[in-house]
Amino acid sequence: MRLFPRLLLQHLTGVAVTAAVLVGAAEVSAQPFIQHHVDSMIVQMGAQGGHMRADLTQGMRDTLTRALLTALPVALVVATLFAWLSARRVTASVRTLQDGSRALASGEYHRRLAVAGEDELADLAGSFNTLAGALERVEQGRVELIGNVAHELRTPMAAVRGYAEAGQDGVLPAQEALAAIAREMASMERLARDLSLVSRVESGKVDLHVEALALEGALLQARERFALAFEDRGVTFTVTGPAAGLSIQADAARAQQILANLLGNALRHTPPGGTVRLGAERRGGMAVVTVADTGSGVKAEHLERVFERFFRVDEARTRGEGSGVGLTIARGLARAMRGDVTASSVPGEGSVFTWTVPLAPG
């Protein structure tokens, strides 16, 4: 049996049972009431009233019965109408949810349900809309990811073809063309590694070897690694803060990867003559590492989006300047080690990226 007739039958069964209980209760409870009033009337009528006891009792019973028989059909009709309306509303909501679910299953993630009222059915419709919105964002992210990966690969692939043709035509010496092709292949390999790491980070399958790590040593290692790159770009690079004596609970290789992504991002967005500061301090049971630059900054509405895969504040920026997933990897690795990476910025003055990581016990 389908939902609507089943609900209607259940409601009507409840109405019938209620009506039977009402009639039975009225008949039982009326007996003392009728007897009391008959006795009162006989007392007022005197001696001749005794002969009328049976007639008075029967008359009052008949009156009660006729009143119940008159009111009961009307009540049943009204109750049936309300039962039909209630069952119809529930089944209509279920059909709407069913249609919406089928639409989602067929890929119509833009489908939304009308939310009317403040009951559980309205809450269910709201939950459906939340689910649809989440699926729509996931699908949009999937489409954007495919497009971005294709775009990121198109540039080096076109360069490889160009260098190969130049080598074949003798425009470039073979050795020079091969070296250029190797550089472009390395760029594609880096993108593939980064995408693989993003996938593992987001699925929680990244390998971590967490141990006590001297924070000062990690910062000095990052400085040595990036000192020449900052110097070549004409950007002042300094390391400050009381990192001495602080030990963090982290994977050494992943910690360097986080620092490399944050410093690489700061280097790309800081013009020559600017400054990048790498600092660290202790806040409670956490170490706070900051990378502050004097670049162009990021608008408030873009601060969270900079951690999305391939998101670029400046679309005109050269695509070869990084794989576009560095900050995504940095935040994912930080969260995997029970920390986080956040951003703050003042447009026109620069940005600050903050990495929080638990201190090692003791």
Please tell me the distance from the alpha carbon of residue 1 to that of residue 173, in angstroms, as a whole number. Answer: 81
First-to-last alpha carbon distance for the chain, in angstroms, is 67
Please tell me the distance from the alpha carbon of residue 196 to that of residue 190, in angstroms, as a whole number. Answer: 10
Angle at which helix 215-233 crosses helix 252-269, to 10 degrees, equals 30
Query: So where are the chain's domains?
Result: 3-108, 124-202, 211-358
Please tell me the distance from the alpha carbon of residue 272 to that of residue 295, in angstroms, as a whole number. Answer: 10
DSSP state of 50: G
The residues near 208 (Cβ < 8 Å, ≥ 6 apart) are 251, 254, 336, 337
Neighbours of 171 (CB within 10 A): 12
- Beta bridge partners of residue 340, listed in sequence order: 356
Specify the fold of 124-202: Helix Hairpins (1.10.287)
The answer to whether 324 and 264 have CB atoms below 8 angstroms apart is no
Give all strands (DSSP E) within 222-299, no chain letters: 236-240, 247-250, 275-283, 286-293
Q: Closest by alpha carbon to 311, among 194, 291, 319?
A: 319
Q: Closest by alpha carbon to 268, among 323, 344, 343?
A: 323
Superfamily of domain 211-358 in the CATH hierarchy: Histidine kinase-like ATPase, C-terminal domain (3.30.565.10)
The answer to whether 305 and 311 have CB atoms below 8 angstroms apart is yes
The answer to whether 56 and 36 have CB atoms below 8 angstroms apart is no
Q: Closest by alpha carbon to 328, among 237, 222, 250, 257?
A: 257
Q: Which residue has the tokens 């008159």?
A: 70
Give the pLDDT score at 359: 94
Chunked mean pLDDT (size 10), the chain, 362 residues:
65 74 70 68 63 68 74 76 75 80 82 76 83 83 73 79 86 85 82 79 82 92 92 92 84 92 92 94 92 90 82 54 76 92 91 95 80
Please tell me the distance from the alpha carbon of residue 107 to that of residue 95, in angstroms, as a whole number. Answer: 19
Bridge-based pairing state of the strands 286-293 and 247-250:
unpaired
Longest dimension (CA), the chain: 140
Give the pLDDT score at 191: 76
Collapsed DSSP state (helix, strand, coil) of residue 355: strand
The answer to whether 290 and 277 have CB atoms below 8 angstroms apart is yes
Which phi and psi (to 5°) does residue 110 adopt?
-85, -5
The answer to whether 80 and 15 have CB atoms below 8 angstroms apart is yes
Give the pLDDT score at 4: 61
